[in-house]
A and B are shown apart, each in its own frame.
Chain A
């Protein structure tokens, strides 16, 4: 935190005249601060103009048809993105089913059991940090080469959700570890001192206290998966799909891919269609993020 010896509040408390006389703040200082402020402002302005642009472009098509109708290449003026919305729900539900248990169990192992000085635990640790930064399209290659063709699952909901769960697994692990680490050591020691075993301590003391943090992190990780398009391009997500998935073995498309598809079309109707789908996608993400923030604020422990 940036509070110096003479921090903002003390400085403000001094009457104007008592500041060091006549010096004021040199212009270089002001310019520097202005520059810093401007670099944040660029991000804010960009974000605002992006949101305004998307909503304005989407306006003519921003009605329920985007949810109730299916994609239509011939008649875009009446098309919707229902198959993509349902595809997103299917794929993300199974992604959550695969990656949340795996990620949370890994986090418990690394925080509560693993000896960080052992080489194999260090390998796991560095491996996770690296995986978190591996380009998403490389996961697409993994999905294509191993899951879709090697294991023969094909271009299905199952392949897509397995691939995405491997993609967001490092994010889930890192978030869950932070939540576990935030539980004070004294809680564990008290429990162990009362005769609880290691696992009893984890299950009855550590995990209940860490659940809100884990939930927040998991939701944020899944919202990353929802917006992800690149790996699914390799897994058949771009196929022209005008029906909702019916099972794990069903072909699929998802919202970001449907958006990519419509952006690539040249006719103007597709642009408002793409924008409307972007609005739907952003609203879903916003809802998930709000839920995460609400969980963080309502259930977070103060020790």
Chain B
């Protein structure tokens, strides 16, 4: 036996056989590094809030919040300017409602079919179609809405006063198709998480597949389905390119889906393109409208996150 080894043994003998392992500082460094990376996403949220609040606060020193939120005329760059955000909000809601009328029934239908009816081979054909729909850039959807859907609507519209060149209807319809994958995939997740026992029990009692789908699986997955729809609403409110291309750039307080109207997002985009000087009221409107948009979608997202958590707690 060589010298050092014997000494090692002797040392082990005197201070217990298993030596205390050396502290591994590298392990700690790695963990700190990883935690630091995860801070980036927190800082992103902080950054968004910091970006939004100071210019918005300056804006609200010039324009009262009441006038902003209840005013019916939006013309920030005209003289005299008007800062009533209602036309932008109603336009956003118009397009969102139209989109939901398309996306909710079609998305849920697709989800029920994929979760309860489709055989594996059918699923493997349709799921990629939904993924492709979700992957098409929204500017392409906007192009299709403006150049294909609107002319088609104008052609088939009974009567003379059909949709205008820019209108909320075709923007909303195309946006609805865009949101189908969001609604379908999240609610399909929720339905697939419903335990098989519940279905088997209902089948054993003589239920048909439709009864199982609508009366057992659907209610059992309801919180996940609502979460999917709420997330769909959030996406519709925040979608920019489709409305910027196809719904027009004119603020218009109207509930006629055949007219053009400017949504909140379309306004932000239009004002942003203008490259307004920092500190001008026009520049600050971007942040005022942006704050409103951020708060609206934040509420929707938090509701959706909570609902998803609820169904996960019940079934997983």
Contacts and interface: CB of A to CB of B under 8 A. Distances in A.
Interface of A: 1-2, 4-6, 8, 25-26, 28-29, 32-33, 35-40, 42-44, 46-47, 49-50, 53-54, 57, 101-102, 105-106, 108-110, 112-114, 123-124, 126-131, 133-142, 144-146, 149-150, 166, 169-170, 173, 197-199, 220, 223-224, 226-230, 233-234, 236, 238, 256, 259-260, 263-264, 271, 274-275, 278, 281-282, 285, 289
Given A53-B148, A131-B44, A141-B48, A113 B34 contact: yes
B143 A259 contact: yes
B269 A227 contact: no
Contact of A2 (B115, B132, B142, B268): B115
Instruction: Tell me the interface secondary structure of chain B in the complex.
Output: helix
B174 to A, nearest CB: 8
Given A43-B133, A127-B45, A233-B272, A138 B293 contact: yes
Interface in B258-316: 265, 268-269, 272-273, 275, 278, 286-287, 290, 293-294, 297-298, 300-302, 304-305
Pick the most buried of A134, A136, A141: most chain B CB atoms within 10 A of its CB.
A141
Q: Which 5 pairs of residues, A with B, have the shortest CB-CB distance?
A: A135-B238, A227-B137, A39-B109, A234-B272, A105-B37
Contacts of B107: 39
Contacts of A127: 41-42, 45
Contacts of A227: 135-140
A264 B146 CA distance: 10
B287 A166 contact: no
17 contacts: A2-B209, A5-B200, A6-B203, A29-B210, A40-B114, A47-B133, A53-B144, A123-B42, A126-B305, A129-B301, A133-B300, A142-B44, A197-B24, A226-B137, A227-B140, A230-B138, A282-B140
Interface string B33-47: 111011011101101
Nearest to B24: A197
B1 interface: no
A39 B105 contact: yes
B110 A141 contact: no
B26 A199 contact: yes
B287 A233 contact: no
B212 interface: yes
Contacts of B34: 105-106, 108-109, 112-113
A137 B240 contact: yes
B68 interface: no
B82 interface: no
B124 to A, nearest CB: 12
B38 A141 contact: no
B41 A133 contact: no
A106 B37 contact: yes
A135 B242 CA distance: 13
Contacts of B42: 123-124, 127
Nearest to A106: B38
A8 B123 CA distance: 14
B136 A134 contact: no
Contact of B33 (A39, A43, A105, A275): A105
B197 to A, nearest CB: 11
A130 B38 contact: no
B37 A138 contact: no
Contact of B109 (A36, A166, A229): A36
B63 interface: no
B65 interface: no
Given A260-B241, A281-B140, A102 B37 contact: yes
A263 B146 contact: yes
Interface stretch (B6-14, B156-164, B229-237): B229-237
B255 interface: no
A2 B305 contact: no
B215 interface: no
B250 to A, nearest CB: 14
Contacts of B135: 220, 223-224, 227, 285, 289
Given A133-B301, A138-B293, A141-B51, A229 B41 contact: no
Contact of A170 (B41, B126, B245, B294): B41
A266 to B, nearest CB: 11
